Amino acid sequence: MIVFRKSEEAEKGISAIRKSGKKIGFVPTMGALHQGHLSLVEHSKKENDFNIVSIFVNPTQFNNSTDLEKYPRTEEADLKLLEEIGCDAVFIPTVDEIYPNGSHSEKFDFNGLELQMEGKFRPGHFDGVGTVVKRLFEIVKPDNAYFGEKDFQQLRIIQQLVKSEKLNVRIVPVPIKREKDGLAMSSRNLRLTEEMRDEAPVIYKILKESKDYFKNHSVKETEKFAKKLFDKTALKLEYFEIADEETLESAQEKPDSKHLRAFVAAFAGDIRLIDNLRIK
């Protein structure tokens, strides 16, 4: 497995591989890899000839400095996992490599997608994501790039970024990978206390119960139902919202949506978890 640490090296190395006629698959990550990330790599391996993962904890997408400091960094274990599953290359840049002129975000217009849900609670977060993903795409120039549906709003934002910036890459959504007890896999799960780790699977349980409830109730009633269920748990709910999958607008204003998804953000102690489930 090739390890690139410099942007220039990565750009040159991958460009030579592309010139040899190989299709490039790319999985951008912030490391602390788990089975969810590996499933993105497995998807990439099926559709490409050369597969590269980036590991970069992007400072511009954190709106809380403690969260950035405490973000798990497990490079050695990550490299071992990637080697084991037959990844071809990994790109591990420093902050200066990605942000040679200082770590600032570009300002994007994501057609309103950035104003919904996460956007209300994490100001500037999606500008940070858009900035780093655009920069990584410029370096790697992948044919296909893989993003998990756990961060569904991020996925939609990146699809919009590709469209508005006319980037030549196909974005491939990959379904959420869950632990046996239903908890959506996330690098943040490593930071849960034992008590909160036991409690956290209730998020998926409530999503599933809400999906059932929604069969015979309105959006408003279902959101109320879910919130009441969260009140009985040890988690602190930030939002439970049913939204249109395309525009991410609240389903309360979009009764004719083709697909609806329920979205959750909740604190398990100090750790903020998100999850979602298609309900229509």
Active site residues: 37
Main-chain dihedrals φ then ψ at residue 113, nearest 5 degrees: -60, -30
Do residues 46 and 40 lie in contact, with contact meaning Cβ atoms separated by under 8 Å? no
CB of 5 to ligand PAF, least distance (A): 17
Main-chain dihedrals φ then ψ at residue 218, nearest 5 degrees: -80, 170
Beta-bridged to residue 232, according to DSSP, are none
Contact between 133 and ligand PAF by CB under 6 A: the answer reads: yes
Return d(Cα 274, Cα 186) in angstroms, integer: 9
Contact between 27 and ligand PAF by CB under 6 A: the answer reads: no
Contact between 93 and ligand PAF by CB under 6 A: the answer reads: no
Rg (CA), the chain: 19
Q: Which residue, 28 or 93, is less far from ligand PAF as judged by CB?
A: 28
Instruction: Find tokens 């990584």 and name the residue.
Output: 136
Closest to 238 (Cα-Cα) out of 196, 279, 273: 273
Per DSSP (E only), the strands in the chain are 2-4, 24-29, 50-55, 89-91, 144-148, 170-174, 236-244, 260-268, 271-278
Q: Could you count the other beta carbons within 10 Å of the beta carbon of residue 85? A: 16
Residue type, 242: I
- 116-to-77, 93, 156, 193, 249 alpha-carbon distances in Å: 35, 31, 11, 29, 7
CB of 210 to ligand PAF, least distance (A): 25
Q: Could you count the other beta carbons within 10 Å of the beta carbon of residue 181? A: 12
Contact between 132 and ligand PAF by CB under 6 A: the answer reads: yes
Contact between 129 and ligand PAF by CB under 6 A: the answer reads: yes
Contact between 98 and ligand PAF by CB under 6 A: the answer reads: no
At 275 the three-state DSSP class reads strand
Q: Which residue, 169 or 260, is less far from ligand PAF as judged by CB?
A: 169
Piece of the chain touching ligand PAF by CB under 6 A; list 9-17, 27-35, 168-176, 266-274: 27-35
CB of 274 to ligand PAF, least distance (A): 11
CB of 57 to ligand PAF, least distance (A): 8
Give the per-residue contact string, 29-68, with ligand PAF (x = CB under 6 A; - = no). Answer: xx---------------------------x--x-------
Q: Which residue, 55 or 229, is less far from ligand PAF as judged by CB?
A: 55
Beta-bridged to residue 26, according to DSSP, are 52, 145
10, 17, 26, 28: residue in contact with ligand PAF (rule CB under 6 A): 28
CB of 154 to ligand PAF, least distance (A): 6
Give the per-residue contact string, 164-203, with ligand PAF (x = CB under 6 A; - = no). Answer: ----------------------------------------
151, 223, 241, 244: residue in contact with ligand PAF (rule CB under 6 A): 151
Q: Which residue, 58 or 189, is less far from ligand PAF as judged by CB?
A: 58
CB of 99 to ligand PAF, least distance (A): 12
Do residues 148 and 36 lie in contact, with contact meaning Cβ atoms separated by under 8 Å? yes
Q: Give contact residues for ligand PAF (rule: CB under 6 A).
A: 28-30, 58, 61, 129, 132-133, 151, 154
